């Protein structure tokens, strides 16, 4: 977003333009999260295993047909005085009928997204806290976090006032009830 010729660029404009112009190495991903550019290296195999196990269950068991996208850029509402957050969840789920991915730009709004999945990686606090708040501000209804450090799965629900008001946390091996449009208990025993 470039300022008009008679308007000076703000710090937020410069940050956003610099972020959008980044050319990250193959496999790396860059996000603009709460005013900070975060570059993450490619994930390890266990990270991808957890994603695969959960995605398969959602595709097979959800009450409605789900579409999913790995590494889809979401442009979300930001905290006051900062450029829009640009986050890339590990998996973004949306009802197939909504067709939110078809024709979407590299960075799309979170409208129509039912849930995002994050698996902790090299910066676990970004997944646990910062990205969670970004998704809550963006009104993503469900934020599912697989925390590899403490072997838990947490479902965050009811986004309000910049965070999720409810959370349901279980250790690996216990089911996590996913509300509609998913409507099933996510099994986590294969994450052990």
Give the DSSP H or E segment for 136: helix 131-137
Total number of domains in the chain: 1
From CA 131, how far away is CA 116, in angstroms rounded? 10
13 found inside a domain: no
Q: Which helix (H) or strand (E) holds 143?
A: strand 142-147
* Domain-embedded: residue 31: no
DSSP per-residue letters across 31-92: EEETTEEEEEPPP-HHHHHHHHHHHHHHHHH-SS-EEEEET-EEEE---TTSPPEEE--SEE
Measured in degrees and rounded to the nearest 5, phi and psi for residue 60 equal -80, -30
CATH code, 111: 3.90.1570.10
pTM of the prediction? 0.88
For residue 180, what are the domain limits? 43-191
On the 0-12 / 13-18 / 19+ scale of CB atoms within 10 A, 61 is middle
Strands 115-119 and 142-147: parallel
Q: Has residue 2 been placed in a domain? A: no
In a domain, 33, yes or no: no
d(C-alpha 142, C-alpha 93), whole Å: 10
Q: Is residue 32 part of a domain?
A: no
Q: List the chain pLDDT tens, one digit each, 192 residues.
A: 455 556 788 888 878 787 778 888 888 889 988 888 889 899 999 999 999 999 999 999 999 999 999 979 999 988 787 878 999 999 999 999 999 999 999 999 999 999 999 999 888 999 999 999 999 999 999 999 999 999 999 999 999 999 999 999 999 999 999 999 999 999 999 999
4, part of any domain? no
User: Structure tokens of 62?
Assistant: 């959800």
Question: Is residue 105 a part of any domain in this protein?
Answer: yes
Is residue 145, in this structure, part of any structural domain at all?
A: yes
């Amino acid at each position: 977003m470039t300022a008009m010729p008679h308007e000076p660029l703000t710090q937020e404009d410069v940050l956003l333009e610099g972020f959008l112009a980044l050319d990250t190495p193959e496999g790396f991903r860059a996000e603009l999260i709460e005013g900070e550019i975060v570059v993450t290296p490619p994930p390890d195999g266990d990270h991808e295993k957890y994603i695969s196990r959960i995605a398969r269950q959602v595709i097979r068991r959800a009450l409605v047909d789900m579409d999913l996208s790995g590494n889809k850029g979401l442009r979300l509402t930001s905290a006051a005085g900062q450029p829009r957050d640009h986050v890339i969840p590990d998996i973004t789920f949306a009802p197939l009928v909504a067709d939110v991915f078809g024709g979407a730009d590299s960075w799309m709004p979170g409208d129509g997204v039912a849930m995002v999945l994050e698996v902790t990686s090299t910066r676990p606090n970004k997944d646990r806290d910062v990205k969670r708040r970004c998704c809550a501000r963006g009104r993503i209804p469900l934020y599912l976090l697989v925390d590899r450090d403490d072997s838990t799965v947490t479902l965050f629900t009811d986004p309000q006032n910049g965070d999720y008001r409810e959370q349901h946390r279980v250790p690996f091996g216990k089911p996590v009830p996913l509300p509609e449009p998913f409507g099933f208990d996510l099994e986590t025993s294969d994450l052990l």
